[in-house]
Homo-oligomer: A and B are copies of this chain.
Amino acid sequence: MNEKPKIPTRDKILNSALRLVRQKGFGATRIDDICAEAGVTKGAFFHHFKDKEAMGVAAANYWSAVTGGFFAAAPYHLHGDPLDRFLGYIDFRIAILEGEPADFTCFVGTTVQEIHEASAAIKQACADSIFNHAETLVPDIAAAQEMHCPGAAFSPESLAQFTQAALQGAFILAKATGKAETAVEMAQHLRRYAELLFETNRHVSTQH
């Protein structure tokens, strides 16, 4: 009884890396800072990761796993109508836009923008994270399209990806103003676009 959580050292390092990189960017984040934040030594760091780049790849994959679970457990999946699920996803993304930009901002979006020319491995891991997450929206979008506007001019994949692009762009403007409300305001245009595309005006209530 009273089992301590005992977070593995590797996860402690990755958690600290995610937090710091989201604040300061990948390049500006010092390995020493990550170790200090995680409460481990440099020896531990280089025991688990060959170099900083390998840690970056691991962090991107870790981010995919963490956020994947987070969104899988989110309530918008419970809607019966696929369009409600898609709109519910956007509403959910809007609902979590709170606090400092570093709190709601996307690790892989930030990182791929910064290192896309410096590290092919990290870039690939980030790209996979973004596009695989987008892919989770495709079934609902495709079903909604079939129900509400068959023969549309856009592909479900493309719309799913634009959803991510619009959010990433909202994050950039929010970092420029420093305000979460900026991101919300931008994301509401995304929501309106989704409504207009499916020629509906429904309001999806948040479930809990």
Contact = CB atoms under 8 A, between A and B. Distances in A.
What secondary structure prevails in chain A residues at the interface with B?
Answer: helix
Interface in A94-151: 101-102, 109-110, 112-118, 123, 126-127, 130-131
B101 A116 contact: yes
Categorize the interface residue count of chain A.
35 or more
Contact of A23 (B117, B176, B177, B185): B117
A153 B189 CA distance: 10
A101 to B, nearest CB: 7
Interface in A143-163: 153-154, 158-159, 161-162
A141 to B, nearest CB: 12
A175 interface: yes
Interface in A171-208: 171-173, 175-178, 182, 185-186, 189, 192-193, 196-197
Interface of A: 23-25, 27-28, 101-102, 109-110, 112-118, 123, 126-127, 130-131, 153-154, 158-159, 161-162, 164-173, 175-178, 182, 185-186, 189, 192-193, 196-197
